[in-house]
Structure 1
Amino acid sequence: MTSYRKSAVAVLTAAAVLTLGLGASPASAKSSDGFVRGYDGFADDFDDEGTLSLSLNEKSNATCMWQALLWSEGIRNDRDGIDGLFGNDTYQASRVFQDWNGLTVDGVVGKGTFAEAGKRLTYVSGSTARGKELTLKYESGVRNISLIRDSQGRYKFRDANSGWRVAGYDYLTCP
């Protein structure tokens, strides 16, 4: 093979590798499998969650669960307004939560904001062992809400109609 052909093959190979690398989704956009999830002990379950914002996962059950947590905090006052749409109201409420907790105030619910919320999880019943269901309470000091970590580690929250929903990043089924 001539040196010209070797150079051309090397350039094309590098371009293909670069294109594949740039096409990958950023790791912070979602949790690894599309669900708010935890295993074993629950204290750090929210420490590695994906991002919720005006442009990431803005229409999702994970956003709906976040809105329920904001309602529990007393930042959102309308339980019926929990709709899973990360609009300006949720953006502003997230900024209030961040400000109250000494976090960077940017309205983006990322690992730090989720981790701060996770500090309010308390044990109610069940087992922290993998494959077992665990019932937790989110205790904000204003309103408490129940959460379930199912046998697959996925978090469930109760929507405004008293139905249980799985908190996922890739779909929206809450009212």
Structure 2
Amino acid sequence: MTDNATAPAFGISLRRKTAVLAVAAGLFTGLALSGTPASATPSQGVITGTDIPWDDWGDEGPISATSYATSNVTAMWQQILWADGLLAWSDIDCQFGPTTTAATKKWQTKYGVAGGADGVVGQNTLNRAALHLSGAAGTNNRIVYNGRYDGRKINMTRHDDGRWGMWISSDVRPLWYNDATFNVCP
């Protein structure tokens, strides 16, 4: 079979398949290597990042029942759990309690988080979640978390200065570690 022959299963030439795979590999490598990961810490007070948004979350956290348990960052994580069908909307309350911990463990198991299902939202968990972000950074641009349940999505933004924000209903707030300011927070 020549490299221009048609592969019966797909109806496209092997040369075209090879070209598509090469382009895809180049794009993946470019995304994986482009820019330096953000160097943020919870001590900055808010989720922050630089360069491409998809690498911002890998150095954030941990978020758990004992770390930043009542915060806008917890509300963000609860929305992710909701978008992936593991938490009810009524459970989004900015408090990392037993329901959020149990849903986090289910999420970590379901999506094969390295390090196992410990109920703590650390770098490995946030890196897995970041795989489902789309959009572009910038004050007027939205970044979307594309949930894997019933087409659910979460609208977020990363301002030009690197600070992340998120909407709950029409309420947009920064993703604070030490403050719970959304209208769903007690």
TM-score exceeds 0.5: yes
Q: CA deviation at 1:106?
A: 0.4
CA distance in 2, matches of 1:98, 1:141: 14
Q: CA deviation at 1:153?
A: 1.3
Does the 8 Å CA contact 1:133/1:151 hold for their aligned counterparts?
no
Structure 1, residues 105-136: CA drift from partner, whole Å, max 9, x if none?
Answer: 0000011111111111011x554xxxx55411
CA distance in 1, matches of 2:177, 2:128: 19
Q: What is the aligned partner in structure 2 of residue 102 from structure 1? A: 112
Letter in 1 for 2:179: Y
Letter in 1 for 2:68: N
Tell me the matched-pair count.
Answer: 139
1:158 matches 2:167:
yes
Q: CA deviation at 1:101?
A: 1.1
Q: What is the aligned partner in structure 2 of residue 170 from structure 1? A: 178
Letter in 1 for 2:180: L
CA distance in 1, matches of 2:160, 2:52: 13
Q: What is the aligned partner in structure 2 of residue 72 from structure 1? A: 83
1:92 matches 2:102:
yes
Does the 8 Å CA contact 1:99/1:105 hold for their aligned counterparts?
yes
Q: What is the aligned partner in structure 2 of residue 139 from structure 1? A: 146
Letter in 2 for 1:84: C
Unaligned runs of at least 5 residues, structure 1: 1-29
Q: CA RMSD in A?
A: 1.6
Q: Do the aligned partners of residues 38 and 105 (structure 1) sit closer, same or farther apart at CA in structure 2, a change above 3 Å counting?
A: same
Q: What is the aligned partner in structure 2 of residue 48 from structure 1? A: 59
Structure 1, residues 35-80: CA drift from partner, whole Å, max 9, x if none?
Answer: 1111111121111102111111001110011101111111112x23
Does the 8 Å CA contact 2:53/2:137 hold for their aligned counterparts?
no
Does the 8 Å CA contact 1:122/1:138 hold for their aligned counterparts?
yes
Letter in 1 for 2:173: R
CA distance in 2, matches of 1:155, 1:119: 16
Amino-acid identity (%): 32
Q: What is the aligned partner in structure 1 of residue 5 from structure 2? A: none
Segments of 4+ moved more than 2 angstroms? none
Q: What is the aligned partner in structure 1 of residue 124 from structure 2? A: 112
CA distance in 1, matches of 2:82, 2:163: 21
Does the 8 Å CA contact 1:31/1:48 hold for their aligned counterparts?
no
